[in-house]
Amino acid sequence: MILLNGKKLALEIQSEIKKEVDLFKQASITPGLAVIMIGDDAASQVYVRKKAEACKEVGIYSVVHEMPENIKEETILNTIKLMNENSNINGILVQLPLPSHINQTKILEAIDPKKDVDGFHPFNIGRLVLNLDSFVPCTPLGIMKIFEEYKINLEGKNVCIVGASNIVGKPMLALLLNANATVDICHIYTKNLKNHTKRADIVIIGVGKAGLITEDMVKDDAIVIDIGINRLENGKISGDVDFENVSKKCSYITPVPGGVGPMTIAMLLSNTLKATKL
């Protein structure tokens, strides 16, 4: 069993990004990222802080617009408009989830597609599905980078994605199809999940349910990518996979923490650099 060390790979990628950012700065250009965070969700605050710290480490200018839970939709849209028009801001992201009174689709569509470093704008999702150059959502892109780093050939592989979200599952599906894999995507209404995961050469899961994937649900030498992050009652962090037992059967597996999470942030920095080049 080989651990897919996303933390190590992310640090290597961030080192290369810093070199490119330094070159931009020599030309008096500083890549800029704007984050809009609404409300005081604890998990969102942690993610935003980590993103800001990563930006600082590589030399990307970042600004966080913190807004109260009861903010008006119009105020958010006005802020996005200002960021779209600000030439010092190359990337814009809105931290999800949003409060229930805010129309998420409307907010995400307001972002200039050329500054959509989260890759959630329908313009970029459409180009991704058609296998055209676009901004790709950071978590699926990070997973593809892990496959590339460990020379895992996806062509002809049977892949089971567990979780069909717009943020991870659906863009992951498009990336895998573009890489000529055969893809099975499961969700909350899927019957007998084990029938799907057991057949897969690669299982990718991100649903936020600790220990959902157990040893009997994967075949020998499977590759398992665990996107889930769950805090257990004892305070420890766990993924969606029963790591201790599933890892005994795997050829490759991502740890939690230290697997996909660091790659998500690295890809955000990479997308911000790409937006600066554009």
Q: pLDDT tens for residues 76-107?
A: 999 999 999 999 999 999 999 999 999 999 99
How many residues can be counted in the chain? 278
Q: What is the CA radius of gyration of the chain?
A: 19
Q: Is 118 a catalytic residue?
A: yes
List the one residue out of 113, 227, 213 whose CA is nearest residue 168. 227
Among 14, 115, 118, 157, the active-site one is 118
What residues does each domain of the chain span? 26-112, 138-261
Q: Which CATH class is domain 26-112?
A: alpha beta
The DSSP H or E segment spanning 125 is: helix 122-129
Q: How many CB atoms lie within 10 A of CB 154?
A: 21
Among 95, 145, 240, 274, the active-site one is 95
Q: Which CATH class is domain 138-261?
A: alpha beta
What value does the mean pLDDT of the chain take? 96
Q: Is 14 a catalytic residue?
A: no
Give the count of alpha carbons within 13 A of 54, CB side only.
Answer: 27
pLDDT digits (tens, 9 = 90+) for 152-193: 999 999 999 999 999 999 999 999 999 999 999 999 999 999
